[in-house]
Chain A
Amino acid sequence: MDKKPRIRLLATAWIGALIAVAPASAQQKLTIYSAYENSQIAPLTKAFEAKNPGVSIDHFRQPGEELLATIELELRARSPKADVVGVNDASIAYLQRRHDAFEPYVAKDVEKARAELRSPQNVFTPAFVNLYLIHYNTRRISEADVPKSWADLLDPKWKNQIAMADPSSSQSVQSFVWFIADHLVKVDPARFGWDYFKRMGANGVHLESSHGTIRDLTVSGERPIGINLLANAQTAKNRGEPTSNIWPREGVPGELSAFGLLRAAKNKDLGKKWLDFIISPEGQGLMPASLGGAPVRNDVAYKYPDGSSLEQVKIIPVDSAFISENKRTQARKFHDAVGK
């Protein structure tokens, strides 16, 4: 065979491959950046696409703090690529304060969300409440033996058995850090405060970049106890994994997960439709099976993955403003205390 046609064929295939890498633009496309796993957000995106024929969603996921860095770099370069961002309300407040990143929008039906969960300036639309809990592997730890409180995690018998998120990468763990170091310390200063994390460090706590990885370590038994988010306990339950959860007796920090529309969004109308959708009864009804959190509307029935009802869990709303303003200092204090 003559070599030239072969070379042309190879060159065509190569150029074709390069073109295929470029994003297609025939469909209307909504770009969402979030800290939620693809499999978690998929039921929501699929339902949205079904309601809006001709629209497709491009979802880009990173652990929270890493995602914030990506968004900030894009904002600095004046080339933000996302239309909508899904993170916790503290992170939205952080981006709003530093970059005035979000465009206020009053989503349809947002008044159906509980009043304390709405954004006073409408810079975000509430999606679900995410709570911290003790997630454990039921094949490794018996129900009788399982720690019942946050303080129980300091017991030496749990040495090298616990994993939690690292504030270098995770945004949500800031809520837990605030809860232990700044809230519970007022209730029980002998057990809580920064010294709690010092003792956790001495007890061999393993730090991970993402709560999803912590869930997987709990599931595999490598770290049979995880300080995790409700969303991951729900995901493990949805997958039939051998895990359960404990609501510690001191109460649990509750953070709000929300979506905001970027000012620089290229598809604002689609972005607004998305915000309308997530607060709609259909979107809220999908929350437990998708993002794994508790709906923000009271008119949507819900039970926690272990069967508990909303009233049975003592939720402490986190101080998002404090977290948003102090997260760098908090992260440094955390690392100093844990010694990692």
Chain B
Amino acid sequence: MTKLTFFDRPAIAWAIAAVWLAYLVAIPIGYMTVDSLTDNGLTLAAYAEFFEDPKLRTAMRNSLSVAAGVAVLSVLVGAPLAFGVARTQMHGRTLVSAAMIVCLVSPDFLLAMAYIALAGPNAGYFNQAIRTVFDLKMESGPLNIFTLWGLVLTALPHGVSYVFLALVPALRNVDPALEEASRVQGAGPLETIRDVTLPLMRPALLSGALLAFSGSLAMYGPPHMLRLNVLTISIRESLIRLDFKAASAASMILILMSLAALVLYRHSTRQAERFRTVGGKSFSERSGAEGRVAAAFTVLGIVYVLAVLVVPYGGMTVISLMKSVGMGFSAGNWSFDNYRAVFSDPAVRNAATLSVSLAASTATLVTVMGFLVAYVVIRMKLRGRWLLDYMSIIPLAVPGTALAIALAVVYLNPPLNALGLYGGFGILFVAYVTRFITFGVRTSQSSLIQLSPEFEEASRVGGAGGLKTVALITLPMMRQALVYAWLLVFVLALPELSASIILKGIHTQTLSTVLLDIWNGNGGLAQACAFGMTMFASVGILLLTAAAIAKRATGGLRIGT
């Protein structure tokens, strides 16, 4: 007799997943919701104060404008690049794909730091060059990074990476027969893209745009460095004033803005079958466009890589080698002292150990639990599965700063203060798992949606139990997606800042909080650049290692190439 397991008992599986998600998501978010609505009784006073405060209203408008701008521009830049890599013989496909991963891994505030050095209105190297070349009689500008457009520019590479990484696998997995059928019917290439490819890409496109939108709403580092008034900054300022009511109300408004985007996304992709592109039938790989089309995409790819990687990180490398930033490019102003200072700093070493441990632990738990939740939602036909689906996606709408405040309050008060997590590794781990659980669940869900159940049904018909079917059929077919989920969460967790900045303790400084501290005067610009470049290089090495491990595990992991 086959032993019954998690996969054979839908009700128990549902309950386990629900308790786990409730602990991670419902308790902190529920607590914050109640906190924002109560003050010796039910009241909307915190919200009234929010809307009466012109500074907070401006912050809300700014957050929304920046997030919308980043989402739209990410699609406009990311979609063509994804198409070029997936569907053409453009040169540098590996380079562009690697650049996307690197941009995603790199903390957004590194780019902010670099762009301040390049496009600072007074002393930015670009501005100085433009003023000199065009003999402009102006002391300042013409570029100014300390604006909302500057913030959009700084956040754009992350958004573009989200769109790109969502689109490339989807573009590859479209059965060529669908597009060939369109061409046979007389449609041109552009019409085929418009009428066949783009509609099939809608979930991936919206998913990427949604991630770009919510990521921009949630970002903390760049607006902090550019000194711009957005909601995440207001939330932290409220916390510094220890005004938890104001912080909770601002957080809830930020969450509602993100949730609105999520609802829109869910509405647009509600019929999963319409987007199923992988079935039991195999298809041959397409060769991809060549010639002028490929050349145009090559140019686009090179310009993009130059703008988001080579120039900013090249600039940071130069600054990191300066003894004195104020002495500029003068002779004798060069040394490795800033790197020596970084490597000899025990706080940096401790932060590196902590961040790697946190990221690896988070990635592992998120991948495992993400698969289990996704399996319950997609494969088990239960009435309450929508609840798990919504709970797992809610963290995407919760900025790290808001989540951190909720967790701080929850774990500072009875009964959960008994766990003693506040101020240590534990609370950061809970925050990270909560922040990234969506990626684990959604990656597994996307893979399960594309994987026709007929494979598993065949196994069941053959007499295999739930666990055996999952172990021998489902997991091997999802191997690439699971490894991708682990890597994605690892690389996103490694530079996490927005929750860490609030939950860090004296012994739990992460790489990002230490770097931000160095920028904030605890070392200075040149040392921050040295640290940033060290982090950048270390992450690159880790990525290569992870890719090599993944290649051995999967027999060839492909991320975009």
B324 in contact with A241 (CB, 8 Å): yes
A18 in contact with B357 (CB, 8 Å): yes
B350 in contact with A38 (CB, 8 Å): no
Q: Which of B189-197, B202-210, B515-523 forms part of the interface with chain A?
A: B515-523
B353 in contact with A72 (CB, 8 Å): no
A21 in contact with B55 (CB, 8 Å): no
Report chain B residues within 8 Å CB of A220: 117, 120, 123, 325-326, 525
Q: Does A198 contact B (CB under 8 A)?
A: no
Q: Does A51 contact B (CB under 8 A)?
A: no
User: Would you give the 0/1 interface string for A52-85, flagging 1 where the beta carbon is closer than 8 Å to chain B?
Assistant: 0000001011110110110011101101011000
A210 in contact with B347 (CB, 8 Å): no
Q: Does A142 contact B (CB under 8 A)?
A: no
Contact A14-B121, Cβ < 8 Å, known A21-B350, A69-B240, A79-B423: no
Report chain A residues within 8 Å CB of B326: 137, 139, 219-221, 241-243
B121 in contact with A17 (CB, 8 Å): no
Q: Does A88 contact B (CB under 8 A)?
A: no
Q: Does B556 contact A (CB under 8 A)?
A: no
- How close is B493's CB to chain A, nearest CB, in angstroms? 15
Q: Which of A145-153, A189-197, A201-209, A265-273 forms part of the interface with chain B?
A: A201-209
Report chain A residues within 8 Å CB of B116: 222
Contact A61-B423, Cβ < 8 Å, known A66-B240, A241-B326: no
B122 in contact with A207 (CB, 8 Å): no
- In the complex, what residue of chain B is closest to A157 when comparing beta carbons? B139
User: Would you give the 0/1 interface string for A31-52, flagging 1 where the beta carbon is closer than 8 Å to chain B?
Assistant: 1010001110000000000000
B506 in contact with A209 (CB, 8 Å): no
Q: Does A160 contact B (CB under 8 A)?
A: yes
A212 in contact with B522 (CB, 8 Å): yes
- In the complex, what residue of chain B is closest to A33 when comparing beta carbons? B506
Interface residues of B in 80-133 (CB under 8 A from A): 116-117, 120-124
A61 in contact with B240 (CB, 8 Å): no
Q: How many residues of B contact A (CB 8 A)?
A: 52
- How close is B158's CB to chain A, nearest CB, in angstroms? 23
Q: Does B3 contact A (CB under 8 A)?
A: no
A73 in contact with B123 (CB, 8 Å): no
Q: Does B558 contact A (CB under 8 A)?
A: no
A216 in contact with B224 (CB, 8 Å): no
A69 in contact with B239 (CB, 8 Å): yes
A212 in contact with B524 (CB, 8 Å): yes
Tell me, in angstroms, the Cα distance from A140 to B122 when the chains sit together: 10
Report chain B residues within 8 Å CB of A39: 341, 522-523
B521 in contact with A206 (CB, 8 Å): no
Q: Which of B241, B327, B508, B519 is close to A213, meaning CB atoms less than 8 Å apart?
A: B519
User: Would you give the 0/1 interface string for A15-39, flagging 1 where the beta carbon is closer than 8 Å to chain B?
Assistant: 0011011110000000101000111
- In the complex, what residue of chain B is closest to A77 when comparing beta carbons? B412
Q: Does A215 contact B (CB under 8 A)?
A: yes
Interface residues of A in 211-233 (CB under 8 A from B): 211-216, 219-224, 232
- In the complex, what residue of chain B is closest to A207 when comparing beta carbons? B227
Tell me, in angstroms, the Cα distance from A213 to B522 when the chains sit together: 8
- In the complex, what residue of chain A is closest to B122 when comparing beta carbons? A222
Q: Does B140 contact A (CB under 8 A)?
A: yes
Interface residues of B in 422-446 (CB under 8 A from A): 422-423, 425
Q: Which of A61, A69, A232, A239 is close to B242, meaning CB atoms less than 8 Å apart?
A: A69
- In the complex, what residue of chain B is closest to A20 when comparing beta carbons? B353
Interface residues of B in 238-275 (CB under 8 A from A): 239-242
A240 in contact with B227 (CB, 8 Å): no
Tell me, in angstroms, the Cα distance from A141 to B146 when the chains sit together: 22
Report chain A residues within 8 Å CB of B121: 160, 222
Q: Does B161 contact A (CB under 8 A)?
A: no
Tell me, in angstroms, the Cα distance from A192 to B408 when the chains sit together: 41
- In the complex, what residue of chain B is closest to A74 when comparing beta carbons? B423
- How close is A46's CB to chain B, nearest CB, in angstroms? 13
Q: Does A161 contact B (CB under 8 A)?
A: yes
B521 in contact with A73 (CB, 8 Å): no
- In the complex, what residue of chain A is closest to B349 when comparing beta carbons? A20
Q: Does B417 contact A (CB under 8 A)?
A: yes
Report chain A residues within 8 Å CB of B216: none
A17 in contact with B357 (CB, 8 Å): yes
A160 in contact with B123 (CB, 8 Å): no
Q: Does A245 contact B (CB under 8 A)?
A: no
Q: Which of B139, B240, B506 is close to A31, meaning CB atoms less than 8 Å apart?
A: B506
Tell me, in angstroms, the Cα distance from A335 to B59 when the chains sit together: 14
Tell me, in angstroms, the Cα distance from A74 to B412 when the chains sit together: 9
Tell me, in angstroms, the Cα distance from A296 to B520 when the chains sit together: 27
Q: Does A328 contact B (CB under 8 A)?
A: yes
Tell me, in angstroms, the Cα distance from A39 to B508 when the chains sit together: 20
Q: Which of A66, A68, A221 is close to B122, meaning CB atoms less than 8 Å apart?
A: A221
- In the complex, what residue of chain A is closest to B144 when comparing beta carbons? A160
Report chain B residues within 8 Å CB of A340: 229
Tell me, in angstroms, the Cα distance from A18 to B507 when the chains sit together: 12
Tell me, in angstroms, the Cα distance from A208 to B508 when the chains sit together: 25
Q: Does A168 contact B (CB under 8 A)?
A: yes
Contact A81-B423, Cβ < 8 Å, known A31-B506, A160-B121, A224-B122: yes
Q: Which of A22, A221, A223, A328 is close to B241, meaning CB atoms less than 8 Å apart?
A: A328
User: Would you give the 0/1 interface string for B399-414, flagging 1 where the beta carbon is closer than 8 Å to chain A?
Assistant: 0000000001000100
**Closest A-B pairs by Cβ, 3 of them:** A212-B521, A221-B123, A219-B326
Could you name 16 residue pairs across A and B whose Cβ atoms are closer than 8 Å?
A18-B425, A21-B508, A39-B341, A60-B506, A69-B242, A160-B121, A168-B240, A216-B521, A216-B524, A221-B326, A222-B121, A222-B122, A223-B122, A232-B521, A239-B324, A242-B326
- Please give the residue numbers on chain A whose beta carbons come within 8 Å of chain B beta carbons, in ascending order: 14, 17-18, 20-23, 31, 33, 37-39, 58, 60-63, 65-66, 68-69, 72-74, 76-77, 79, 81-82, 137, 139-140, 160-161, 166, 168-169, 206-216, 219-224, 232, 239-243, 328, 335, 340
Contacts beyond the supplied A63-B521, A215-B524: 5 A-B pairs with Cβ under 8 Å: A60-B506, A62-B517, A73-B242, A222-B124, A224-B123
